[in-house]
C-alpha cells in the first residue's frame, strides 16, 4: 500500500483525499488543516486523521472539539509521498519540510514551474517523473489543454495552437472573488501564462493563449484552434478524441448547451460533488477548415486535476505503467463510465 499524506484540505485537497482513498493500492495517512472550519469537520466526518498544519493553532482545534492525530511534520514523516494542495505559493514554501523528511511531494498548478523538478500530466509525460522529489501537477487549464494536444500531436502533428480561455472568476465557495458583473481580458497583455505553462509539458509546442475572466463559477471554457500538419476530416478527429481516456465528447442529442447543463448532468449522474474529471468537448464544434481544427471544450477547474494527482503518485514512485495507472485510477473513481450513461 502506498501511504499518502495530504497537506491542505481545500477544494483540491479534499477531492484528492477521496480519490486516493478509492484506490486499491493507496491509503490516506491523514490530512493537514490550518484551522478548524467546515472542511475540517468534513475530514472528521469522513474519518480522515487530521493533522495541524500550524503548531500554534492546535488549541483552536481543541476548542472546536476536533481531535488531532499530530502535526504536519509527523504526517510528512509517516507518508511515502505527500500531495500538497495548499494555496498558491505555500507549496513551494513547504518544499524544505518535504526535503527534511526525504518525502517526495506533489505540488499543484498554482506553484511556479521552476520551484519543482518537473511538471506532470498523466496522458502526456507520465514516464518522465519517476524518482523525482518535487513534481507539479499542472493547473486545470493546462491539464485540459495537454489532454487535447497529446493525441492530436501523435496522430496528426501540430504546427500551432491558438486558444482563448474564458475563465471562471472564482470557485463556487470563493466568495471574495470578482468580477461581479464584468468581462475582463486577463491578462490584458499577450500571451497569457497558459501557453508557457503548456510548454512545461510540451517544450517544443508552438502555442499562443489569450485569457478572459467572466463572472461565472462553474467551469472554464476554451475556444481552441489547432493548425495540424495534416488534414484529417472532422469525423476522424472526433473519433480520435472519443477514444481518449478523460475526454467526454458531448453528443449533440444530450442538449448540453453550456457549463450549467453539464454540471446538472454530473449531479444527475451522482458524481461526487458534481465533479467532471474529464474534458467536455462539444462534438458538433469539432470542425476542420483545411488544416485548421476548431473546437470548444469546458473544463471543471475543481476536479480535472484530481485523477492526475493520483497518477502522479504512482509515476513518481514507479509503482505502475502509464496505462495501468490511468486505468486503475479511472476505474476506482468511476471515471471510466461515460458521464452520460452513469446512474
Ligand atoms: P483552497 O484555498 O480551496 O484550499 C487550500 C487549503 O489549504 C485551504 O483549506 C487552506 O486553509 C489550506 N492551507 C492554507 N495554508 C496552509 C498551510 N500552510 N498548510 C496546510 N494547509 C494550508 O485552494 P485550492 O483551490 O484547493 O488550490 C490549491 C492549489 O491547487 C493551488 O496551487 C491552486 O492553484 C491549485 N489548483 C486549484 C484549482 C481550482 O480551481 N481550485 C484547480 C487546479 C489547481
Q: What is the pLDDT of residues 4-30, one digit of tens each?
A: 999 999 999 999 999 999 999 999 999
- Spatial distance between the Cα atoms of 90 and 95, rounded to a whole number of angstroms: 9
Establish whether 12 is an annotated binding residue.
Answer: yes
Alpha carbon of 85 to ligand 1 centroid (Å): 5
- Spatial distance between the Cα atoms of 68 and 106, rounded to a whole number of angstroms: 23
- Spatial distance between the Cα atoms of 234 and 310, rounded to a whole number of angstroms: 33
Which residue is it, cell 499530530? 70
- Is residue 170 exposed (0-12), middle (13-18) or buried (19+ Cβ within 10 Å)? middle
Give me the pLDDT at residue 211, please: 97
pLDDT at 342 over 70: no
- Residue 12: φ, ψ to 5°: -80, -45
- Beta carbon of 53 within 6 Å of any ligand 1 atom: yes
- Residue 209: φ, ψ to 5°: -130, 145
- Beta carbon of 142 within 6 Å of any ligand 1 atom: no
CATH code reported for the domain at 2-138+305-333: 3.40.50.720
Count CB atoms within 10 A of the CB of residue 166.
Answer: 19
Considering the chain, tell me which residue range(s) the CATH 3.40.50.720 domain(s) occupy: 2-138+305-333
- Residue 30: φ, ψ to 5°: 170, 180
Nearest CA owner, ligand 1 atom 9: 10
Q: pLDDT tens digits for 64-110?
A: 999 999 999 999 999 999 999 999 999 999 999 999 999 999 999 99
- Spatial distance between the Cα atoms of 76 and 85, rounded to a whole number of angstroms: 13
- Is residue 342 exposed (0-12), middle (13-18) or buried (19+ Cβ within 10 Å)? middle
Tell me how far CA of residue 154 lies from CA of 161, 236, 237, 247, in angstroms.
Answer: 14, 14, 12, 16
Would you state the cell numbers that stand for residue 56, as one nine-digit string?
Answer: 500554534
SS3 240: helix
Do 184 and 213 meet the contact criterion of CB atoms below 8 Å apart?
A: yes
- Spatial distance between the Cα atoms of 343 and 331, rounded to a whole number of angstroms: 15
DSSP state of 36: -
pLDDT at 308 over 80: yes
Alpha carbon of 193 to ligand 1 centroid (Å): 19
Which residue is it, cell 472546536? 64
Q: Tell me what the mean pLDDT of segment 156-162 comes to.
A: 98
Alpha carbon of 138 to ligand 1 centroid (Å): 14
SS3 77: helix
**Average of per-residue pLDDT values in the chain:** 96
- Beta carbon of 292 within 6 Å of any ligand 1 atom: no
Establish whether 194 is an annotated binding residue.
Answer: yes
Q: Which CATH superfamily is domain 141-304 in?
A: Dihydrodipicolinate Reductase; domain 2 (3.30.360.10)
- Beta carbon of 153 within 6 Å of any ligand 1 atom: no
Question: Which residue in 283, 284, 286, 267 sits closest to 275, CA to CA?
Answer: 267
Count CB atoms within 10 A of the CB of residue 290.
Answer: 8
Alpha carbon of 69 to ligand 1 centroid (Å): 21
Q: Which residue has the higher pLDDT, 292 or 175?
A: 292
* 12, 41, 138, best to mutate for ligand 1 pocket (most atoms within 8 Å of CB): 12
Q: Which residues are catalytic?
A: 140
Q: What angle do CA 268, 326, 279 make, to 5 degrees?
A: 45
Count CB atoms within 10 A of the CB of residue 160.
Answer: 14
SS3 3: strand
pLDDT at 341 over 90: no
Considering the chain, tell me which residue range(s) the CATH 3.30.360.10 domain(s) occupy: 141-304
CA-based torsion, 295, 298, 301, 304: positive or negative: negative
Would you state the cell numbers that stand for residue 109, as one nine-digit string?
Answer: 498548478
Establish whether 143 is an annotated binding residue.
Answer: no
pLDDT at 147 over 90: yes
CA-based torsion, 219, 282, 269, 46: positive or negative: negative
Amino acid at each position: 500500500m502506498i501511504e499518502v499524506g495530504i497537506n491542505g484540505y481545500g477544494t483540491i485537497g479534499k477531492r484528492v483525499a477521496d480519490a486516493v482513498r478509492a484506490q486499491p493500492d493507496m491509503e490516506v495517512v491523514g490530512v493537514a488543516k490550518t484551522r478548524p472550519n467546515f472542511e475540517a469537520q468534513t475530514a472528521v466526518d469522513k474519518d480522515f486523521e487530521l493533522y495541524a498544519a500550524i503548531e500554534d493553532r492546535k488549541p483552536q482545534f481543541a476548542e472546536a472539539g476536533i481531535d488531532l492525530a499530530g502535526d504536519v511534520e509527523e504526517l510528512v514523516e509517516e507518508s511515502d509521498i505527500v500531495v500538497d494542495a495548499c494555496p498558491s505559493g505555500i507549496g513551494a514554501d513547504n518544499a524544505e519540510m518535504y526535503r527534511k523528511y526525504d518525502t517526495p511531494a506533489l505540488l499543484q498548478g498554482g506553484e511556479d514551474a521552476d520551484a519543482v523538478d518537473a511538471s506532470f500530466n498523466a496522458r502526456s509525460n507520465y514516464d518522465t517523473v519517476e524518482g523525482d522529489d518535487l513534481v507539479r501537477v499542472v493547473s486545470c487549464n493546462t491539464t485540459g489543454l495537454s489532454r487535447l494536444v497529446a493525441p492530436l500531436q501523435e496522430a496528426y502533428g501540430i504546427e500551432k495552437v491558438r486558444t482563448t480561455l474564458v475563465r471562471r472568476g472564482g470557485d463556487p465557495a470563493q466568495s471574495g472573488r470578482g468580477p461581479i458583473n464584468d468581462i475582463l481580458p486577463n491578462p490584458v497583455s499577450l500571451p497569457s501564462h497558459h501557453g508557457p505553462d503548456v510548454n512545461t509539458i510540451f517544450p517544443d509546442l508552438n502555442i499562443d493563449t489569450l485569457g478572459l475572466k467572466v463572472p461565472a463559477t462553474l467551469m472554464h471554457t476554451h475556444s481552441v484552434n489547432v493548425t495540424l500538419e495534416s488534414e484529417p476530416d472532422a469525423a476522424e478527429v472526433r473519433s480520435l478524441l472519443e477514444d481518449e481516456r478523460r475526454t467526454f465528447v458531448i453528443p449533440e442529442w444530450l442538449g448540453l448547451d453550456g457549463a450549467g447543463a453539464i454540471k446538472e448532468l454530473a449531479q444527475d449522474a451522482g458524481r461526487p460533488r458534481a465533479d467532471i474529471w474529464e474534458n467536455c468537448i462539444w462534438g458538433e464544434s469539432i470542425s476542420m477548415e483545411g488544416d485548421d481544427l476548431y473546437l470548444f471544450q469546458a473544463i471543471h477547474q475543481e476536479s480535472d486535476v484530481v485523477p492526475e494527482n493520483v497518477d502522479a503518485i504512482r509515476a513518481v514512485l514507479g509503482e505502475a505503467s502509464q496505462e495501468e495507472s490511468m486505468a486503475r485510477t479511472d476505474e476506482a473513481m468511476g471515471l471510466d463510465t461515460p458521464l452520460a450513461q452513469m446512474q
